[in-house]
Amino acid sequence: MARKTEEIGVIVIDVQGDFTELRNGSLAVGGTDEAYVNAVEENTKKLKQAGFPIFATQDWHPANHVSFFTNHQGKKVFDVIKLHGKDQILWPPHCVQNTPGAEILLDKKLFKAVAKKGMDPRYDSYSGFQDDGGKKTDMNKLLKEDHIKKVIVYGIATDYCVRATAIDASATGYKVIFIKNLCRGVAPDTSQNALEEMKAKGIVVLDDLDLEKIKTE
């Protein structure tokens, strides 16, 4: 028998001004034009109408965030440094709290809740579940409150925040379904690697949103 729809939740990841071409974002990812944002909005509406609770993540950095190249003397954009023993890409300043670039570009009424991430200036947080220092966001608590067992994930960027959020969701015990055509990646090679890694971890990759498939997968 198909699972009850109440057990399915949706996580729309970082569809924010600074990640889109639509808003001329500081870290605009290829293919994030108006048609892409509209497709995300339409499909999210469809999922909401089908009865699934919709959650969002929002990259929400202070201006002095460690991931901004401008906060490291002598460093250039996309340089990689060692931070807390890991490689850290230095990004252009993006999604600074209370700036237009941090705005989620979808109708806010779609969302049951938004989990903000990346507020600690010392740690990056690609995952919607926790930052690189191990501090949890509200995401797991929100999903648990709704008795969610399976999550549908999509958004920006395939190779960074969508990847990390999907993998953490899976590691936390959720069944995860990734919707490929509602995602955009920073680079083709890292996006392809992310898909392979997700599949290897048991995440279901669907080319596009199919309501029947997400109920039975």
Binding positions for Zn ion, rule: CB under 5 A = 59
Nearer to ligand VGL, 189 or 212 (CB): 189
| CA dist., res. 167 & res. 201, Å (int) | 8
| CA dist., res. 206 & res. 81, Å (int) | 34
Q: Does 182 bind ligand VGL (CB under 6 A)?
A: no
- Three-class DSSP category at 171: helix
Min CB(149)–ligand VGL separation in Å: 25
Which listed residue (116, 117, 150, 175) is catalytic?
A: 117
Min CB(160)–Zn ion separation in Å: 8
Instruction: Return the residue of 90, 115, 148, 157 that touches ligand VGL, per CB under 6 A.
Output: 157
Nearer to Zn ion, 69 or 206 (CB): 69
Q: Report in angstroms the alpha-carbon separations of 212 from 50, 185, 206, 217.
A: 11, 26, 12, 9
Nearer to ligand VGL, 143 or 157 (CB): 157
Widest distance between CA atoms in the chain:
59
Query: Could you tell me which of 179, 202, 160, 4 has the C-alpha nearest to residue 67?
Result: 160
Instruction: Return the residue of 156, 176, 183, 194 that touches ligand VGL, per CB under 6 A.
Output: 156
Q: Does 161 bind ligand VGL (CB under 6 A)?
A: yes
* Complete edge-to-edge strand list for the sheet that includes strand 8-13: 113-117, 54-59, 8-13, 150-155, 175-179, 204-206
- Three-class DSSP category at 91: strand
Q: Does 36 bind ligand VGL (CB under 6 A)?
A: no
Q: Please list the active-site residues.
A: 14, 117, 161
Q: Interface residues with ligand VGL (CB under 6 A)?
A: 14, 19, 59, 91, 126, 156-157, 160-161
